[in-house]
A and B are shown apart, each in its own frame.
Chain A
């Protein structure tokens, strides 16, 4: 059994991070420029880390699969970023943000990491404003806030419905400044396919140049993975088409433990699926729930008439509508956390009350707010979202209710990291959504942007220096080392194998099949029998893929099908691990519902006795079963309670 120790400083919770910073070993500027760091990914976490490390004087090599760093999928985050600024004087503070995050995560996150995150949050806003991020402002010229899913204070900073875009442009501009200064070298259109370990330490990566197909070797004294989440294992998700697990998965196969892989978040407010050829799902910011009311008809006759388009939703009388969130959770109503809202929507649709042509949708109705505040006020808040909705669905939400349905949006699981954000492989770090650390079993709205930037701008730059201070005598790592040769050989082998399969079925077909298995058996609701079945199905899919995948085009050229094939093969393996993890976690908690573990009235029932721990999986070789390790979670400050939003 690996002893998983987070290594948080021995100090009272509120003083841990300042104590860490006070005692952290630093690297002197003359030595910094002799040290190389690889950062994979240029989203909020990766770009902010690369920019800050470059600013500090390290030699940074930054990698992304996109054509430019500014495209990373953080850009699509809409709603906002939390910070314990208490600008609204409504009772917010660091402790409350910490408390909300631990509680929202359903007591499956580490107190020390979450407290640090909350305490750093105000600095993030200061920095972003200084960079020129155009946050929303009041007429007095100061920053505006809004309240956001699952909290009772207004601590969310936002830039219309494009907060992720504006924050990413801020981080991208900081990164561009370092590229111009020569401290960061950018490698775009590159897929990182393997991590190179030398004498037990992460020392480099093997990369495929997506334009030329060349396999490249890059070395460094430390490697940082900021590669985002793995929601695309479900095929249909709100992730970008290219979002993938590959670098994190290769880290797992090289010895880094993968924690809580089954913890995925299903976002309640997405545009429903329209048909078989749908390629992705589009999120509508959950800020919409501030002013929209969610309902389905009370009577099945109305449901039927709606599906056949014989009546419109506005024709259904108030008394015949079931505002099921307000009914079930009177205290929080439409603002219950994401997992609760998603599950409740699925429950109504499973019971046959779903609307839309597929019956997999519920209404999000703005008519009350429009009557109360006027269409202009609603337009100022959500104009771009309404526009986007109309463009996709061809309905005008000012006149008729939106239709929404839950979709996979975020993955709380990821590479296991300690307090310093280092994985179980020395010198290999994981930041942002790529790691597992801060959101437990469910992430609160507007907390992902906060975590990505906290890790990149303010945490990693300190913690990595603790490691690198022991590396100042290590000369630049040579890419001619045998470990690099072996890794390149392995990558080439796997590419030839993929290309040489010469089967009949496209990569997308396998990806869609995997997605359906995962959504059906390892999505919002899971059962022992379903998960067992999924394990078998994934095994078959893996074998089919190996014998029947068809990849046109050549190896040494731009070949999107080859890129996808590698990624999907990793997703299939990850799917297997997610199902194993879900099988072992015989409790309902946070973002997922275990059917065998529920209260008499059908709410999720957590099991702290047996499962107040992080499950971290160790790779034991292809074909061998992975081993599950535990990091026990201690709650010294917040006493776990059953979440209740009633």
Chain B
């Protein structure tokens, strides 16, 4: 197969950057999108040019390292699929493909197609965990969890932290990412203990990092490679509201005491 590629090239964070046109020839339909870029890079190296830098690691759709807008869509045209699991058979022979990095203030470009997503780590550090130490833990089966809850928690926990939700959102909101983590832990008895504090801290951190708000376009769910549902955002909002009310009540009680 043959493709015309319009790829965003940007030397570093301060460079202005722009689209550069390349030809990719002799591509197997069974090649993955990254194998196609590998092939292009081998050609560039042979010519002594700087290869295109892009983020990738496991290439099996689970580590969440890969990103890219492909023809304007995060992770390309296939539903529920990361860029690394996208194959060239999903494109028309001779097609022109636009390849760009995530566009979001909270994810600055490092080089070419690579962005810095450490804002996500900061949100998790604000409370995306259960505060347990590795000692004196009771037997695992002392905490029964209804199967539907465990399954729903798993569905939320399947998030790979790639940032497609932010990239797809017109407001660059991280609500789906945060909602997924809040839901994962709020649905389990282990996570309930700190649920009120967790949701408040995570939401506050998300706001402070420059992510936008949610205006219910549902683009995040549509583009999420793990198909995380927007109901997780609803659950987060409910948790957040309950936490606010609960916090008020707690204050009153401590006051009267």
Spell out A's residues near B (CB within 8 Å). Answer: 48, 51-52, 55, 66-73, 75-76, 85, 87, 122-123, 125-132, 134-143, 159-160, 162, 164-166, 169, 172-174, 176-177, 179-180, 186, 188, 211, 238, 240-242, 274-275, 277-280, 282-283, 387-388, 391-392, 394, 457-458, 461, 504, 506, 508-509, 550, 552-553, 557-558, 560-561
B145 interface residue per 8 A CB criterion: yes
A372 to B131, CA, bound (A): 44
Cβ contact within 8 Å between B81 and A508: no
**Chain A residues whose CB sits within 8 angstroms of the CB of B46 once the complex forms:** 504, 506
A177 to B185, CA, bound (A): 14
B184 interface residue per 8 A CB criterion: yes
Cβ contact within 8 Å between A552 and B49: yes
A567 to B156, CA, bound (A): 36
Cβ contact within 8 Å between B118 and A134: no
20 contacts between A and B (CB under 8 A): A66-B57, A67-B55, A67-B65, A75-B58, A129-B140, A129-B190, A132-B153, A134-B150, A162-B62, A165-B62, A240-B63, A241-B59, A277-B28, A277-B38, A279-B38, A391-B81, A506-B42, A509-B42, A557-B111, A561-B45
Cβ contact within 8 Å between B62 and A560: no
Given contacts A51-B134, A238-B60, 8 further A-B contacts (CB under 8 A): A67-B118, A68-B120, A166-B154, A174-B129, A177-B129, A242-B57, A458-B134, A552-B45
Which residues of chain B from 32 to 71 have any CB-CB distance to chain A below 8 Å in the complex? 32, 34-35, 38-39, 42, 44-46, 48-51, 53, 55-65
**How many Å from the CB of B228 to the closest CB on chain A?**
13
**Chain A residues whose CB sits within 8 angstroms of the CB of B116 once the complex forms:** 67
**Chain B residues whose CB sits within 8 angstroms of the CB of A164 once the complex forms:** 62
A508 to B150, CA, bound (A): 44
A509 to B51, CA, bound (A): 15
Cβ contact within 8 Å between A277 and B39: yes
A131 to B89, CA, bound (A): 41
Cβ contact within 8 Å between B64 and A130: no
B248 interface residue per 8 A CB criterion: no
B83 interface residue per 8 A CB criterion: no
From A75, A141, A561, give the contact of B63 (CB < 8 A): A75
**How many Å from the CB of A503 to the closest CB on chain B?**
11
Cβ contact within 8 Å between B131 and A177: yes
**How many Å from the CB of A520 to the closest CB on chain B?**
22
B253 interface residue per 8 A CB criterion: no
**Number of contacting residues on B, CB 8 A?**
77
**Chain A residues whose CB sits within 8 angstroms of the CB of B126 once the complex forms:** 180
A461 to B133, CA, bound (A): 12
B188 interface residue per 8 A CB criterion: yes
Cβ contact within 8 Å between A73 and B57: yes
Cβ contact within 8 Å between B190 and A392: no
**How many Å from the CB of B253 to the closest CB on chain A?**
28
A550 to B45, CA, bound (A): 8
- Most chain A CB atoms below 10 A, which of B50, B58, B80, B110: B58
Contact with A along B220-252 (1 / 0, CB 8 A): 000000000000000000000000000000000
Spell out B's residues near A (CB within 8 Å). Answer: 11-12, 28, 30-32, 34-35, 38-39, 42, 44-46, 48-51, 53, 55-65, 78, 80-81, 85, 87, 89, 110-111, 114, 116-118, 120-121, 124-126, 128-134, 137-141, 143-147, 150-151, 153-154, 157-158, 160-161, 184-185, 188, 190-191
**How many Å from the CB of B241 to the closest CB on chain A?**
22
Cβ contact within 8 Å between B140 and A143: yes
Cβ contact within 8 Å between B128 and A280: no
**Chain B residues whose CB sits within 8 angstroms of the CB of A85 once the complex forms:** 140
Cβ contact within 8 Å between B63 and A506: no
From B51, B81, B157, give the contact of A561 (CB < 8 A): B51
Cβ contact within 8 Å between A560 and B140: no
From B89, B120, B129, B154, give the contact of A173 (CB < 8 A): B129
Cβ contact within 8 Å between B87 and A392: yes
- Most chain B CB atoms below 10 A, which of A69, A278, A279: A279
**Chain A residues whose CB sits within 8 angstroms of the CB of B11 once the complex forms:** 557
A172 to B120, CA, bound (A): 12
**How many Å from the CB of A106 to the closest CB on chain B?**
29
A134 to B180, CA, bound (A): 13
**Chain B residues whose CB sits within 8 angstroms of the CB of A126 once the complex forms:** 137-140
**How many Å from the CB of B49 to the closest CB on chain A?**
7
A32 to B135, CA, bound (A): 18
- What is the chain A residue whose CB lies nearest that of B132? A130
A238 to B48, CA, bound (A): 30
A166 to B198, CA, bound (A): 19
A509 to B191, CA, bound (A): 49
- Most chain A CB atoms below 10 A, which of B61, B140, B146: B140
**Chain A residues whose CB sits within 8 angstroms of the CB of B125 once the complex forms:** 176-177, 179-180
Cβ contact within 8 Å between A68 and B161: yes
**Chain A residues whose CB sits within 8 angstroms of the CB of B61 once the complex forms:** 388, 391
Cβ contact within 8 Å between B50 and A552: yes
A128 to B30, CA, bound (A): 39
**How many Å from the CB of A153 to the closest CB on chain B?**
17
Cβ contact within 8 Å between B131 and A67: no
Cβ contact within 8 Å between B190 and A132: yes
Given contacts A130-B132, A176-B124, A552-B51, contact A279 B59 (CB under 8 A): yes
Cβ contact within 8 Å between A73 and B147: no
From B56, B58, B111, B185, give the contact of A73 (CB < 8 A): B58
- What is the chain B residue whose CB lies nearest that of A129? B140
A123 to B134, CA, bound (A): 9
A508 to B39, CA, bound (A): 11
Cβ contact within 8 Å between A274 and B30: yes
Cβ contact within 8 Å between B81 and A76: no
Cβ contact within 8 Å between B184 and A134: yes
Given contacts A130-B130, A279-B32, A391-B81, contact A70 B62 (CB under 8 A): no
**How many Å from the CB of B89 to the closest CB on chain A?**
7
From B117, B129, B137, B141, give the contact of A142 (CB < 8 A): B141
Given contacts A126-B139, A142-B141, contact A71 B57 (CB under 8 A): yes
Cβ contact within 8 Å between B58 and A70: no
**Chain A residues whose CB sits within 8 angstroms of the CB of B131 once the complex forms:** 177
Cβ contact within 8 Å between A240 and B184: no
A241 to B140, CA, bound (A): 35
In order of increasing CB-CB distance, the 10 nearest A-B pairs are A141-B144, A173-B129, A134-B154, A129-B140, A126-B137, A180-B125, A240-B57, A558-B111, A274-B30, A71-B63
Given contacts A388-B85, A558-B110, contact A127 B65 (CB under 8 A): no
- Most chain A CB atoms below 10 A, which of B49, B62, B131, B143: B62
**Chain B residues whose CB sits within 8 angstroms of the CB of A55 once the complex forms:** 133-134
**Chain B residues whose CB sits within 8 angstroms of the CB of A240 once the complex forms:** 57-59, 63
**Chain B residues whose CB sits within 8 angstroms of the CB of A238 once the complex forms:** 60
**Chain B residues whose CB sits within 8 angstroms of the CB of A394 once the complex forms:** 30, 87, 89
A139 to B147, CA, bound (A): 5
- What is the chain B residue whose CB lies nearest that of A85? B140
A216 to B23, CA, bound (A): 39
- What is the chain A residue whose CB lies nearest that of B153? A134
- What is the chain B residue whose CB lies nearest that of A387? B80
Given contacts A67-B116, A68-B120, A126-B140, contact A241 B56 (CB under 8 A): yes
- What is the chain A residue whose CB lies nearest that of B117? A67
Cβ contact within 8 Å between B191 and A558: no
Given contacts A125-B140, A127-B132, A127-B137, contact A134 B157 (CB under 8 A): yes
A280 to B118, CA, bound (A): 27
**Chain B residues whose CB sits within 8 angstroms of the CB of A277 once the complex forms:** 28, 31, 35, 38-39
**How many Å from the CB of A447 to the closest CB on chain B?**
19
**Chain B residues whose CB sits within 8 angstroms of the CB of A278 once the complex forms:** 35
**Chain B residues whose CB sits within 8 angstroms of the CB of A128 once the complex forms:** 140
- What is the chain A residue whose CB lies nearest that of B157? A134
